[in-house]
């Protein structure tokens, strides 16, 4: 492979020859492009910082048609950096490094890069200008000038801010097929995110499909072995997950040939028991309105679901005055999802759905994990009520004077009385609405499972 540049050319977003040069660079790459990622930093090896950069890089490279073959995490050691870069450079089309380019003593990536290819370091004029005028470093003896001290044969690639369209302050430094990016996730995302398609995009696309199986791996292992031999250009993966509510294993099928991937999928499905395949939606919140409409079209009791959503949609016209009494059971999850659908239908994305959570004793680790998942998935506001349900609602006029309606997941008057005693009166101006009144447990679980909604197994009362 030819080096990217040996003349120190600066590639900026305003360069007239930028795209032409990038096309010339790409023409030297093989059709099946690969990448190796080197994460540099003792803080990663000591578990002081979690590596999120490699996942971000892999995701974007995959979309560009580049297959990542190896990820290495190494220490802040010049020789180790040099050796790893040299080895990766000879094996993969692209080498992406992250970390080790700051002003401190342990930032040795540029030194290791220069040593890997026998390129002496020098103060690059453009980077010196950036350090002085953009970073405000005056003294030449300042550690900040280490950011300008790079291999003499290296080139600069400036990404751009996606919001402003202006060039980023600091570039990606490149030597041969090695691209050096920062270790800070914020800077890495900005720089790599803006440069990835320009530097690494290919004409290749990966086609991937996933199957969800309610069976242990030994049930379908022979079938997986058989299809992997029959389709050598298709990649298969099997990932057990006994903590999931809907399935016990996930199988991935991937190829750069869509037809081959589909053939491999069909053959695998023909070799396994049909009853272990699970119709699972890994993104239940995407296109929720359309998915709800498709769901009710298949139901004999479609009216009960439609009437419930229409009622909730009417209530959420004044979303700031509504909250859902949430106790992690299936009914409260159904209410939360229906409220989310209603918000999408009336296009009220600015108002967060509010959940009132009253723990019944100590919260288990499973329920704590589930609550966190609900908050992250639906972007809801979760309010913990310290008192009993009765006391908490009696005190709401003081803590939430603007709250008028609380949605409660009772399906019958008997269920309502389990939480709220019949003799107790609600505070003035607060109404307790039960949109699921008249639903059966079958209705609830049909809704949950058909739409692949997460639920807390600890609260599963089926």
Domain with CATH 3.30.70.1130 in the chain: 207-278
Report how far residue 76's alpha carbon sits from residue 183's, in angstroms, rounded to the nearest whole number.
Answer: 12
Q: Residue 462: how many CB atoms within 10 A of its CB?
A: 9
How far, in whole angstroms, is CA 298 from its chain's centroid? Answer: 31
pLDDT of residue 182: 96
How far, in whole angstroms, is CA 352 from its chain's centroid? Answer: 21
- Over the chain, what is the mean pLDDT? 88
pLDDT of residue 9: 43
DSSP 150-212: EETT-EEE--B-TTT-PBPSSPEEEETTEEEE-SSHHHHHHHHHHHHHHHH--S---EEEEEE
> Of all residues in the chain, what percent carry a pLDDT higher than 70?
86
pLDDT of residue 404: 87
pLDDT digits (tens, 9 = 90+) for 270-297: 999 999 999 999 999 999 999 999 999 9
Domain with CATH 3.40.980.10 in the chain: 10-200
CATH fold, domain 288-459, is Rossmann fold (3.40.50)
Average pLDDT over residues 119-146: 91
Report how far residue 19's alpha carbon sits from residue 24's, in angstroms, rounded to the nearest whole number.
Answer: 9
Q: Is the per-residue pLDDT at 18 higher than 70?
A: no
Window from 75-79, 202-206, 256-260, 401-405 with minimum mean pLDDT: 401-405
pLDDT of residue 399: 66
Taking the alpha carbons of 319, 322, 327, 329 in that order, is the dihedral positive or negative?
negative
Q: Which secondary structure element, helix H or strand E, spans residue 43, and what is its range?
A: helix 42-45
pLDDT of residue 2: 34
CATH fold, domain 207-278, is Alpha-Beta Plaits (3.30.70)
Average pLDDT over residues 260-274: 96
Q: What is the pTM of this model?
A: 0.71
pLDDT digits (tens, 9 = 90+) for 215-250: 999 999 999 999 999 999 999 999 999 888 899 999
Indicate the pLDDT class of residue 412, thresholds 50, 70 and 90: confident
C-beta separation of 73 from 53 below 8 A: no
pLDDT digits (tens, 9 = 90+) for 62-107: 999 999 999 999 999 999 999 999 999 999 999 999 999 999 999 9
Average pLDDT over residues 331-356: 89
Q: What share of the chain is helix, strand, coil (3-state, %, to 5)?
A: 45, 20, 40
CATH number of 10-200: 3.40.980.10
Sequence-distant (≥ 6) Cβ neighbours of residue 124 within 8 angstroms: 8, 148, 149, 150, 154, 156
Alpha helices (H) along 203-316: 217-230, 258-271, 288-297, 302-315
Domain with CATH 3.40.50.620 in the chain: 288-459
Taking the alpha carbons of 284, 286, 290, 294 in that order, is the dihedral positive or negative?
negative
- At residue 75's C-alpha, the angle toward residues 10 and 119, to 5°, is 35
Window from 210-219, 359-368, 412-421 with minimum mean pLDDT: 412-421
pLDDT of residue 440: 95
Taking the alpha carbons of 150, 152, 153, 155 in that order, is the dihedral positive or negative?
positive
C-beta separation of 204 from 256 below 8 A: yes
Q: Is the per-residue pLDDT at 304 higher than 90?
A: yes
CA atoms within 13 A on the CB side of 327: 18
C-beta separation of 397 from 427 below 8 A: yes
pLDDT of residue 183: 96
Q: Which secondary structure element, helix H or strand E, spans residue 67, and what is its range?
A: strand 67-74
pLDDT digits (tens, 9 = 90+) for 1-17: 333 333 344 444 444 45
Residue 118 vs residue 358, higher pLDDT: 118
> Of all residues in the chain, what percent carry a pLDDT higher than 90?
69
């Amino acid at each position: 492979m030819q080096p990217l540049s040996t003349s120190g050319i600066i590639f900026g977003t305003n360069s007239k020859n930028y795209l032409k040069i990038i096309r010339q660079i790409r023409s030297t790459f093989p059709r099946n492009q690969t990448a190796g990622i080197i994460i540099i930093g003792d803080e990663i090896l000591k578990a002081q910082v979690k590596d999120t950069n490699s996942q971000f890089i892999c995701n974007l490279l995959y979309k560009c048609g580049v297959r990542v073959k190896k990820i290495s995490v190494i220490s802040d050691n010049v020789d180790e950096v040099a050796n790893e870069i040299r080895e990766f450079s000879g094996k993969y089309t692209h080498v992406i490094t992250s970390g080790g380019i700051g002003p401190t003593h342990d930032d040795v990536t540029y030194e290791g890069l220069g040593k890997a290819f026998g390129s002496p370091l020098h103060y690059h004029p453009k980077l010196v200008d950036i350090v002085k005028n953009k970073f405000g470093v005056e003294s030449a003896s300042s550690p900040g000038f280490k950011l300008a001290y790079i291999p003499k044969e290296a080139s600069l690639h400036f990404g751009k801010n996606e919001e402003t369209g202006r060039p980023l302050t600091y570039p990606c430094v490149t030597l041969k097929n090695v691209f050096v990016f920062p270790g800070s996730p914020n800077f890495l995302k900005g720089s790599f995110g803006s440069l990835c398609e320009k530097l690494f995009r290919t004409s290749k696309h990966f086609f991937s499909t996933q199957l969800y199986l309610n069976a242990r791996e030994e049930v379908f292992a022979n079938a997986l072995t058989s299809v992997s031999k029959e389709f050598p250009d298709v990649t298969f993966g099997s990932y057990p997950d006994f903590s999931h509510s809907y399935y016990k294993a996930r199988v991935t099928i991937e190829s750069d040939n869509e037809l081959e991937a589909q053939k491999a999928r069909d053959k695998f499905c023909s070799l396994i028991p049909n009853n272990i395949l699970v119709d699972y939606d890994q993104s239940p919140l995407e296109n929720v309105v359309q998915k709800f409409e498709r769901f009710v079209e298949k139901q004999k009791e479609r009216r009960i679901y439609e009437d419930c959503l229409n009622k909730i949609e009417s209530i959420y016209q004044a979303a700031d005055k509504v909250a859902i009494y949430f106790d992690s059971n299936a009914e409260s999850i159904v209410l939360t999802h229906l409220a989310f659908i209603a918000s999408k239908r009336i296009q009220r994305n600015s108002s967060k759905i509010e959940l009132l959570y009253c723990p019944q004793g100590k919260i288990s680790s499973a329920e704590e994990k589930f609550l966190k998942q609900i908050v992250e998935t639906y972007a809801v506001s979760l309010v913990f009520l310290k008192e009993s349900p009765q006391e908490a609602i009696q005190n709401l006029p003081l803590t939430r004077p603007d709250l008028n309606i609380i949605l409660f997941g009772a399906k019958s008057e008997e269920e309502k009385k389990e939480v709220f005693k019949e003799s107790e009166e609600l505070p003035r101006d607060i109404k307790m609405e039960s949109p699921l009144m008249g639903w059966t447990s079958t209705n609830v679980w049909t809704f949950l499972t058909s739409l692949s909604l997460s639920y807390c197994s600890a609260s599963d009362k089926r």
